[in-house]
Amino acid sequence: MTTKDAILDNEPASLSHAELENQLALSRIRRQALFEAIDDGFCIIQFIDGPEGPLSDYIHTEANSGYERHTGISNIVGKRLREIEPDNAQTWLDLYGRVLRTGEATRFEQEFLAVGRHIEVSAMRVGAEEMRQVSVLFRDITARKRTEAALRENEQRVQLALAAGAIIGTWFWDLPTDKFSVDEGFAHAFGFSQKQPRAGLSLAEVIATVHPDDRQGLQTAIDDVLKRGGAYAHQYRTRRQDGQYYWLEANGRVELAADGTPLSFPGVLLDIEGRRAVEAERDRALAALRALNETLEQRVEERTAALLSAEEALRQSQKMDAVGQLTGGLAHDFNNILAGISGSLELMKIRLTQGRIGDIDRHLGGAQSAVRRAAALTQRLLAFSRRQTLDPRPSNLNHIVASMHELVCRSVGPAIAVETIATGGLWNICVDIGQIENALLNLCINARDAMGNGGKLMIETANHALDEDGAREYGLPPGQYVSPSVSDTGTGMTADVLARAFEPFFTTKPAGQGTGLGLSMVFGFAGQSGGTVRIASEPGQGARVCVLLPRYVGESLEDDALAVNKPASVALWRKKILLVDDEPLVRTVTMEMLADLGYDVVEAEDGASALTVLQAHADIDLLVTDVGLPNGMNGRQLADAVRTRVPEVPVLFVTGYAEHAVLNHGHLERGMLILTKPFTADALAARVKQQLDEE
């Protein structure tokens, strides 16, 4: 996607910069309101490496006001775990570390020792493991824990009471006579008066004291034990002297004769009213807990989805803000360039009308200069977005730096001392040599501007082997890298400037003295080449910019790669070139350039018509084709099709930006080269000459 497409996708033209800023502010307010609408505590933690080892601590990066309500800790953002809970840190690291490693959400209860509270936690990983972030939703359940503890204590007291003999009374049922004998406690508890015989109660009289809902169950239990004999235990409600029903438990044993006939049924009555009350309260608490657990996951998912939605809205707003800044910078610079081109062309038209051709060269030079500025601006934007066309070649960085020494000295001026330190045994790299030279020159010019009254500039090369920890710090895969670094003794950067150093069009230079694209271009080029850039700087202490590029195992071939810069000459004999480009003006201009160089040129506007032309001109010596062709066949596919008819014919790809997927990510076959638009006649001649092996 081109820069223009990216801008159109986000439709920035319909909104002013002020409106974009208002939308961003509103998005932030909504996000904050969503955070604060959550009654539970919420925070995002990020694991960090500490003195105790990798991932041995974490820091709170975000939190809502509920965090303080549920823990009592204020201003938690920015605090580390080991600051607030040093004695129990490993417990939390193990719990949240498992979530970070596995990506599986978890729920648990844990005592927060530092604040003397119990919390119920739901945790899930944020993004990929490399982000090192876990979101935590929790609530204070200390009151519930205390209630559960009280219930357990009460139940223990009941059990102790039972063990100590909380007995109402005893009975003896003589089964052959079907008469009950009860003790004084039994008779008193159930209101059997002294006039009623304690020996001689009927079963019906006893059952009459049982709650109507429990009578059938009691009768069934008695019938069952009479049939089988042995131990008996049954709970039911009976009416006591006060007329109220209370829970009790009857325990006994039916003794059987040798023939299985029931003989006696002695037993004891236990008061279990308190125990049943505790059990009922426990059951209610467990039911409430089950209901809470059943809905907790749903609530967490809903709230997490809401937070993710808010995060996406915030990212979109930030993206729109960045697009606004980008389009503003583009509009400013391109309008200036277009004004220069348009003005030069207008003056050329006027002078031709007046017959004053003496000024034509000056105005023509101005227009060409503006075109070169536009091309450089576009190239830097593509570099930042990692879409520039690269022509990587194996090379040695020491050779490149040595060849640039004189150019750097001239560019920074005599007030700045330039020193180069070339590491012996430096590994090779595979990069676009022109782009690495451009990147180093940009860094040197930035260093010059930071040393207004002179100073020292140092260019250093080095090998770096990154293990997993080192690679994680740089955001790169573990492996071997080569680094050029540029250091200066200038003014240095503040933390705010350092944080924005790679943003396109961000500059601290006065208006008109910098585009703000130098560092962003270096950053994009390094990333597109498989590496990265890091800056170390403090105010008043200068700056050091280090570029890391992957090592290439092989021979250095930069001398061949630089051969394209040799002066071009007119072809000594006519060779035939098939030129394919869908843009008529570009095709016409390119044809005239090649014809002026003495080549025989045949043209086509797309892949299908090019193959038709090839049928009549199978004797072509070179295919020059745009990469982005219409009608279903791109330039690379056309080249493959042409080579099936004209094997090993040289191919020169012409492209406006890096279509790496089309060009097999820069890995071209033998006899294939790239030329980037816009190009000069000399650059075209040099590439064509190189492909045709002309001396």
The more confident residue out of 561 and 88 is: 88
Q: Residue 665 above 60 pLDDT?
A: no
Residue 323 banded pLDDT, cuts 50, 70, 90: low
Rounded to whole angstroms, how far apart are CA atoms 30 and 33? 5
**pLDDT tens string 647-659:** 889 999 888 764 5
Q: Residue 151 above 80 pLDDT?
A: no
Percentage, residues of the chain above pLDDT 70:
75
Q: Residue 362 above 90 pLDDT?
A: no
Buried b (16+ CB within 10 A) or exposed e, 87-96: eebeebbebb
Q: Residue 515 above 60 pLDDT?
A: no
Look at residue 504 in the predicted model and tell me its pLDDT. Answer: 60
The more confident residue out of 314 and 283 is: 283
Mean pLDDT calculated for residue range 401-405: 88
Look at residue 484 in the predicted model and tell me its pLDDT. Answer: 92
The strand order across the sheet containing 262-271 reads 199-201, 179-182, 167-174, 262-271, 245-256, 230-239
Look at residue 244 in the predicted model and tell me its pLDDT. Answer: 82
Q: Residue 511 above 90 pLDDT?
A: no
Look at residue 285 in the predicted model and tell me its pLDDT. Answer: 77
Rounded to whole angstroms, how far apart are CA atoms 112 and 140? 10
Residue 501 banded pLDDT, cuts 50, 70, 90: confident
Q: Residue 171 above 90 pLDDT?
A: no
pTM beyond 0.85: no
Look at residue 10 in the predicted model and tell me its pLDDT. Answer: 43
- Which of 157-161, 628-632, 689-693 is least confident? 157-161
Q: Residue 100 above 70 pLDDT?
A: yes
Residue 564 banded pLDDT, cuts 50, 70, 90: very low
Average pLDDT over the chain, rounded to an integer: 78
- Cα–Cα nearest to 543, from 519, 527, 520, 512: 519
Look at residue 570 in the predicted model and tell me its pLDDT. Answer: 44
Q: Residue 335 above 50 pLDDT?
A: yes
Write down the residue that tokens 């974009």 correspond to: 20
Look at residue 561 in the predicted model and tell me its pLDDT. Answer: 42
Look at residue 405 in the predicted model and tell me its pLDDT. Answer: 86
Look at residue 231 in the predicted model and tell me its pLDDT. Answer: 86
Q: Residue 235 above 50 pLDDT?
A: yes
Look at residue 48 in the predicted model and tell me its pLDDT. Answer: 92
**pLDDT tens string 305-318:** 777 777 776 666 65
Q: Residue 337 above 70 pLDDT?
A: no
Look at residue 93 in the predicted model and tell me its pLDDT. Answer: 94
Domain limits, the chain: 38-140, 157-271, 386-560, 566-691
Look at residue 159 in the predicted model and tell me its pLDDT. Answer: 57
Two domains, one topology: 38-140 and 157-271: yes
One CATH from 3.30.1490.20, 3.40.50.2300, 3.40.50.620, 3.30.450.20 for 157-271:
3.30.450.20
Q: Residue 622 above 90 pLDDT?
A: yes
Q: Which CATH class is domain 566-691?
A: alpha beta
CA dihedral 342, 344, 346, 349 (to 10 degrees): -140
- Which of 9-13, 503-507, 530-534, 604-608 is least confident? 9-13
Look at residue 334 in the predicted model and tell me its pLDDT. Answer: 62
Rounded to whole angstroms, how far apart are CA atoms 471 and 536? 17
Task: Let me know: does 398 contact 426? Beta carbons within 8 Å.
Answer: yes
Mean pLDDT calculated for residue range 181-195: 66
Look at residue 494 in the predicted model and tell me its pLDDT. Answer: 84
Q: Residue 108 above 70 pLDDT?
A: yes
Interacting residues of 226 by C-beta distance below 8 A, sequence separation 6+: 175, 254, 262, 265
Mean pLDDT calculated for residue range 219-241: 85
- The reply to whether CATH 3.30.450.20 applies to domain 38-140 is yes
Report whether the peptide linkage leading into residue 392 is cis, meaning its omega lies within 30 degrees of zero: no
Residue 134 banded pLDDT, cuts 50, 70, 90: very high
Look at residue 197 in the predicted model and tell me its pLDDT. Answer: 45
The more confident residue out of 415 and 188 is: 415
Number of H helices, E strands in the chain: 21, 23
Rounded to whole angstroms, how far apart are CA atoms 519 and 500? 10
**pLDDT tens string 39-77:** 788 899 999 988 888 899 999 998 988 899 899 999 998
Pairing of strands 393-396, 455-466: unpaired
Mean pLDDT calculated for residue range 284-295: 74
Look at residue 379 in the predicted model and tell me its pLDDT. Answer: 60
Rounded to whole angstroms, how far apart are CA atoms 12 and 5? 11
Mean pLDDT highest for which of 21-25, 179-183, 219-223, 323-327?
219-223
Task: Let me know: does 140 contact 119? Beta carbons within 8 Å.
Answer: yes
Q: Residue 23 above 60 pLDDT?
A: yes
**pLDDT tens string 244-275:** 888 888 888 888 888 888 888 888 888 777 77
Q: Residue 13 above 80 pLDDT?
A: no
How many Cα atoms are found within 13 Å in the side-chain-facing hemisphere of 294?
A: 6
Mean pLDDT calculated for residue range 174-184: 78
Mean pLDDT calculated for residue range 574-585: 87
The maximal CA–CA distance of the chain, rounded, in angstroms, is 147
Look at residue 295 in the predicted model and tell me its pLDDT. Answer: 73
Rounded to whole angstroms, how far apart are CA atoms 109 and 469? 33
The architecture (CATH level 2) of 386-560 comes to 2-Layer Sandwich (3.30)
Residue 15 banded pLDDT, cuts 50, 70, 90: low
